[in-house]
Amino acid sequence: DPNDTVMQTMSLPVGAEGTLNGKFKLDPSIVGPHSLVIKFNGGEETHYVSVASYRKPDFKITVKPEKNYFERGQTVRMKVHCEYYFGGPVPGAEVSGSVLRAALWDYFGPDEESDQYYGEEEGGDYSGDYVGELKGTTDANGDCILEWDSKELDKTVDKSGKAPIEYETNDSLITFDVSVTESGDKYFDGKGSVKLTRGAYSLTSESDQYLLSPGQSATVTFSSTSYADNQPASGLSITAEYGMAN
């Protein structure tokens, strides 16, 4: 436990895949960092686990974008709403947070959410790179409108002084990661996300051939979808360029 008192010692069998499992009961009166020490064949590994008392939130937070997508260059707006669990808004609460941006990769089209991949990790808690900060105060209805100018992305550069290439070649997922403080010591979190697109329409392509011999041809089908209603877009003019990669 945090006082370096050994709480329990046990011997566990190691399975065929080199894994083991076990369980023990925590003392509910002791909180703080606990350590798990595993010893095997002369080796030793320590893993730390944080133990905290459960505190039921006094109010809930929702963070919702004002529309289902924004285009690059527009101001992204989301409404934060704070409401007590026993009913009624939370007025005068301080709202702060971060703006996070992750590349949005569409493998099978923008309308297939299950096939989307955000940023550098699939799943987990990764919400993107920090690109801005947020501040505000809830009004009498417990609402606060937070704004972030997406033109700030144009100022983002890497170590070489250039904008990351995926900023230009991919749409983005923008997340407002928000913290709300009420009465100075009541602190709770919430987050909301929205697409930041390069335009009003998505464009995907699919070829009927992926490997060609000299003289062969391939048919490439382009598909466009409107972000406004997620429906196929018609009447658009598409310019295609082709070449040979070395």
Q: Which run of H or E residues covers position 169?
A: helix 165-169
Asked whether the beta carbons of 96 and 178 are under 8 A apart, the reply is: yes
Q: Which run of H or E residues covers position 168?
A: helix 165-169
- For 192-206, what is each residue's pLDDT tens digit? 999 999 889 988 888
Tokens for 82?
A: 């704070």
* % of the chain with per-residue pLDDT over 90: 27
Query: Which range is most confident: 18-32, 79-93, 143-157, 179-193?
Result: 79-93
At 143, the pLDDT band (50, 70, 90 cuts) reads: very high
Q: pLDDT value at position 70?
A: 94
- For 108-129, what is each residue's pLDDT tens digit? 444 444 344 444 444 445 678 8
Q: pLDDT value at position 104?
A: 80
Q: pLDDT value at position 161?
A: 61
Q: What is the mean pLDDT of residues 230-246?
A: 84
Asked whether the beta carbons of 1 and 34 are under 8 A apart, the reply is: yes
Question: Hey, which residues does 43 pair with through a beta bridge?
Answer: 40
**Of the candidates 242, 75, 87, 246, the residue with the CA atom closest to the CA atom of residue 146:** 75
Q: pLDDT value at position 107?
A: 53
DSSP of 45-72, one letter per residue? EEEEEEE------SEEEEEEESSSEEET
- For 66-109, what is each residue's pLDDT tens digit? 999 999 889 999 999 999 888 889 899 999 999 999 888 755 44
- Residue 6 pLDDT > 80, yes or no? yes
